[in-house]
Structure 1
Amino acid sequence: MKPGIEWRKPRATADNEQFADDLHAALGRTPKAISPKYFYDETGSKLFERICDLPEYYPTRTELALLQTHADDMVAQMGGQVQLVEYGAGALRKVRLLLDAMPRDSVQFVPVDISGAHLLSACDGLAADYPGLAIQPLVADFTRQHTLPPCARGSRRVGFFPGSSIGNFTPSEADAFLRLAAAELTGGGLLIGIDLVKDEAVLHAAYNDAEGVTAAFNMNLLERARNELGAEFPTDGFQHLAFYNPAYRRIEMHLRATRPLELQLGGEVYVFNEGETLHTEHSHKYTVEGFQALAARAGFKPGKVWTDANRWFAVLWLEAAGA
């Protein structure tokens, strides 16, 4: 750990016991489904970084362009002294565009992520590039109760949730997260990226890339189960499946059984029929107006909106109650 980074011990992390419990629950229900947060071990986090640079994957480059073009305006919404909390911080790539637009002594940065090793490595790189920046990484599941460090005197707390990650939540999960964020960002606000409804062909290409990186990212969940939990299953027993479900306005990712098979985990045996799937992720697509209504019900007041020329992606500013 380099100087300038204050380490905060995690209160709750996705350790092997929790992963095992959640995987047992996922395999025991019908249909089988598990949270996408288990994609993000060190290998999964690196694979996702590769996905973000793929030519088919438009969200990252589109959001980066919005941040680069409008960073000054976005920072102006935040105000002066800020504790900037990035939810699901990952590689800390996008936040740099905001930090470049902020006086170094006006921001206290708190990146929150479930993958500890990946987060701390990214913080080391950020500290080297931004000397003097106060960085307080927190390893935690940001969708559950967690304790943020206190704000510096005179600061207000602002959340940053880029990457359209909110789309990975079900509507009820999105509502729960927004309510949690509204409570801990009281007096501040939230800058959030959302993926917009668009042509299905664009979406299909983004989640079925020619290089197979997204497939490897999806399959890595099974590798984690094998390596960390001792799960046993045929090495060629599953394949990547991703498609757009118009009824829910979402992309769905699944691991599909290529034939009838058994998966053994912790003494339990789970049967898959041919074609049966483990649902690993969904990515909801929103309209700006629909998402603003969702945020308003959770306690936010809709503010400025920035979109690209194609209206493929949007970054929204939301004021928290008490601001």
Structure 2
Amino acid sequence: MTAPHLDVHLSPDAAEQALRRDALVGLTAEPKWLPPKWFYDDRGSELFEEITALPEYYPTRTERALLAEHAGAVAAATGADTLVELGSGSSEKTRLLLDAMQEQGTLRRYVPQDVSRSALAAATAEVAAEYPGVQVQGVVGDFTADLEALPRGNRRMIAFLGGTLGNLVPAERTAFLAAVRAALVDGEHLLLGVGLVTDPQVLVPAYDDAAGVTAEFNRNVLHVLNRELGANFDVDAFEHVAVWDAEQEWIEMRLQATRAMRVHVAELDLDVSFAAGEQLRTEVSAKFRLEGVQAELAAVGLEVAGTWTDPDQRFALLLARAT
């Protein structure tokens, strides 16, 4: 077995500074907000894995079914020998792509990138054990800032799965897709998994499950602020809210204060007031129409070479080539 290697481009100090910056900007904004990447400490990563198995949360199983059916076609179309995965998490669905590339006889290297060093260390060890002879090179980093740190060479396919593109608002999406294109050499590929606009009666429960796992996941960001920034949020005093914004065509996850309160964030020397009923936005999850996402890809020089959707038209995989 080839031992996995971790390249660290997001040091604990850099992560702390980014959290301080985001918390200061978001908690002093009107309305208040926080970026969703701070959900994913060790506990948050565990909770998200639980969410992906919930009956209401269709995106993961739908995307997995699409990958199971079409990974062979993707591998054949790209001829890629290196799979780069952004926001890889546990790399569970990735095995379908790795298997297809291995069957194609091209697989040489797997490069997962994630902000969570612990999740990445576990995933790289597992993949290295399962795919002896494959070079596994993990990159600890933020996909919105560290794409230039991705190793180059060979024939790469970047995979960005799970509908995570929807966590970026339109201006952020444009910048991110442009950065992906800049990271790719002409002829290399991006495999993108996106949620599609569908019935809100299906969408909303996926982000507000009956068991309350998503609510715990949402509130976990307050535990992160308490632990990392010396804040004194009363976590139980915030309710989980998930709403569909029909105009923007995205789900918003929010935390709603159940009473008026004043929160002190010691590391920022900041006092934050919440009125009863005031909401803190913690995540946007945009859903797409195929023609819209194809246009966004084309605008940055990524030509769609293949599109696959499930029978209910709830999720799509798009394979785009750098031109």
Give the TM interval when normalised to the shorter protein. over 0.9
Paired residue for 2:203? Answer: 203
Query: Partner residue of 1:22?
Result: 22
State the alpha-carbon separation in 2 of the partners of residues 204 and 221 from structure 1.
Answer: 20
Matched position secondary structure for 1:100:
helix
Q: Measure, in 2, the Cα distance between the counterparts of 1:234 and 1:304.
A: 48
Deviation of 1:18 (Å): 2.0
Deviation at 1:21, TM superposition (A): 2.1
Q: How many angstroms apart in 1 are the aligned matches of 2:72 and 2:29?
A: 47
Matches within 5 A, 1:83-122: 83-103=82-102, 106-122=107-123
CA RMSD of aligned residues (A): 1.5
Matched with 1:255 is: 255
CA distance in 1 between partners of 2:131 and 2:155 (Å): 21
Deviation at 1:3, TM superposition (A): 4.8
User: Is the Cα contact below 8 Å between 2:6 and 2:140 reproduced in 1?
Assistant: no
Q: Structure 1 residue 11: deviation in Å?
A: 4.8
Q: Which moved more, 1:179-188 or 1:97-106?
A: 97-106
**Secondary structure, in 3 states, of the residue corresponding to 1:302?**
strand
Distance across 2 between alignment mates of 1:15 and 1:263: 22
| 1:54 shift after superposition | 0.4
Paired residues for 1:257-272 under 5 Å: 257-266=257-266, 267-272=269-274
The whole-number CA distance in structure 1 between the counterparts of 2:321 and 2:245 is 32
The within-5 A match list for 1:119-268 is 119-145=120-146, 146-151=148-153, 155-187=154-186, 188-266=188-266, 267-268=269-270
| Alpha-carbon distance in 2 for matches of 1:235, 1:252 | 19
Deviation, 1:148, is: 1.6
Q: Structure 2 CA distance, aligned partners of 1:234 and 1:42?
A: 20
Q: Retained in 1: the 8 A contact 2:2–2:132? A: no
Change (3 A) 1:12 1:297: farther
Match of 2:137, as an amino acid?
Answer: Q
1:59-118 deviations in Å (ceiling 9; x for gaps): 000000000011110111211x52211010101011100111112663311100011111
Task: State the distance in 2 between where 1:240 and 1:11 align.
Answer: 30
1:292 to 279, 291, 294: 294
Match of 1:315 in 2: 317
Contact 1:9 1:139 in 2 (8 A): yes
The structure-2 alpha-carbon separation of the partners of 1:235 and 1:281, relative to structure 1 and needing over 3 Å to count, comes to closer
Gaps of 5+ in 2: none
CA separation in 2, counterparts of 1:149 and 1:12? 18
Distance 1:150 1:294 in 2: 24
Higher-helix-fraction structure: 2
Contact 1:4 1:133 in 2 (8 A): no
Higher deviation after alignment, 93-102 or 235-244:
235-244
Paired residues for 1:4-19 under 5 Å:
4-11=3-10, 15-19=15-19
Percent of counterpart pairs with the same letter?
Answer: 42
Count residues in correspondence: 316
* Aligned 8 A contact 2:162 2:194 in 1: yes
Once the two structures are superposed, residues 123-160 of structure 1 have per-residue CA deviations (whole angstroms, 9 ceiling, x without a partner) of 11111111111100000001113412232xxx222110
Structure 1 unmatched ranges of 5 or more: none
Q: Distance in 2 between matches of 1:18 and 1:318?
A: 31
The 1:297/1:111 distance shift into structure 2, 3 A limit, reads same
Taking the aligned partners of 2:61 and 2:161, their CA distance within structure 1 comes to: 12
Tell whether the 8 Å contact from 1:105 to 1:133 is kept in structure 2 after alignment: no
What is the identity, as a one-letter code, of the residue corresponding to 2:38? Y
Distance 1:97 1:209 in 2: 27
Q: Kindly state the Cα deviation for residue 17 of structure 1 after the two structures are TM-superposed.
A: 2.7
Letter in 2 for 1:124: A
**Dislocated runs of 4+, deviation >3 Å:** 11-14
Q: Could you tell me which of 274, 282, 285 is aligned with 1:283? A: 285
Q: TM-score, normalised by structure 1?
A: 0.94
Query: Matched residues in 1 for 2:134 and 2:89: separation?
Result: 18
Counterpart amino acid of 2:301? G
